[in-house]
Amino acid sequence: MSAEPRQTPWSDSYDGWRADAADPAFSEWLRSGSEPEWTAVVTHPFAASITRGLTSEEAMRRYLVQDFQFVDSFTALLGAAVAAADNFESRVPFGRFLGETATTEEKTYFHRALAALGASEAELTAPPLEPVTADFRALMDEARRSLDYPAILAVLCVAEWSYLGWASLAEEPLPGGPGGPGSFVHREWIELHEGPAFRAWVAFLRGELDRLGPALPAREQARVLDVFRRAVRLELRFFDMAAGS
Ligand SMILES: Cc1ncc(CN)c(N)n1
């Protein structure tokens, strides 16, 4: 990307500030422009405690109750990606992942995990939202309503790529094994965000940003970066909330 010192996307002028069209790694430009928060998310102590199976049941319940509300807006955002993508080939992976999220994977995981953690029906269906959950849902709803494909991609990419980041730091044996710390709640949450299929999904999201981003006008690139950064900050706040800090 451009070697020029970057202006912030909040500055008044965007002249001379854009990703370099010759460099396809627009997603990496977005990620590195979101430091140090990006690394703080991926290495967050709460995420690390999940990978080690050390998160308490109470903390896991509080986190997953809020995250189930996140997943609701996230699923709607996937639907918007199907609608907003600029070609048929790109719509298909969103549709496939939407189906998995809505039916098999995350949905059954949440029901089983929250039942095992003793969550009430009210916590499952309509819990009081933490401020960060409400803010994250607002950002996703804003991107969904805009039907702006690069902005939608930015939010989805942060959510999935950052989760791949911390989950891929988990070491074998994963939690929840015989005699070890943690339970299936920790292990399956890691497995949902790691492995070849999830890596391919993240590579697809990044590839879409890399395909479209370099050709965007500078002002549009700055706007995508702004959305990306907002999402990264929300991921950080979400883990902070879960950690009780
Ligand atoms: C807050 C948050 N961010 C990302 C993910 C990954 N789908 C999630 N489940 N929750």
Query: For the complex shown, is ipTM > 0.95?
Result: yes
Q: Which atom of ligand 1 is nearest to the CA of 71?
A: 9
Report residue 167 as tokens: 């989950």
| Predicted confidence pLDDT, tens digits, the chain (245 residues) | 443 333 322 223 333 344 554 555 999 999 999 999 999 999 999 999 999 999 999 999 999 999 999 999 999 999 999 999 999 999 999 999 999 888 877 779 999 999 999 999 999 999 999 999 999 999 999 999 999 999 999 999 999 999 999 999 999 999 999 999 999 999 999 999 999 999 999 999 999 999 999 999 999 999 999 999 999 999 999 999 999 98
- Taking the C-alpha atoms of residue 143 and residue 76, their distance in angstroms, rounded to an integer, is 10
- Check if 163 has its Cβ closer than 6 Å to any atom of ligand 1: yes
Complete domains list, the chain, with CATH: 35-243 (1.20.910.10)
**Res 16: pLDDT:** 38
From the CA of 163, how far away is ligand 1's center (Å)? Answer: 7
The answer to whether the CB of 50 falls within 8 A of the CB of 189 is: yes
Q: Which of 46, 193, 230, 234 is the best mutation target for the ligand 1 pocket, counting ligand atoms within 8 Å of the beta carbon and taking the most?
A: 193
| 12 CA to centre of ligand 1 in angstroms | 32
Residue bearing the CA closest to ligand 1, atom 5? 159
- Which atom number of ligand 1 is nearest to the Cα of residue 235? 1
Cα 67 to Cα 106: distance, rounded to the nearest angstrom:
10
- Ligand 1 within 6 A of CB of 239: no
Question: Could you please report the per-residue DSSP string of 144-194?
Answer: HHHT-HHHHHHHHHHHHHHHHHHHTT--SSPTTSTTSSS-HHHHHHHHHT-
CA distance 232 to 226: 10
> How big is the chain by its Cα radius of gyration, in Å?
18
Q: What is the pLDDT of residue 19?
A: 54
Residue 161 Cβ inside 6 Å of ligand 1? The answer reads: no
Cβ–ligand 1 contact at 235 (below 6 Å): yes
What separation in Å is there between the alpha carbon of 71 and the centre of ligand 1? 7
Indicate the SS3 state at residue 129.
Answer: coil
Determine the pLDDT at residue 12.
30
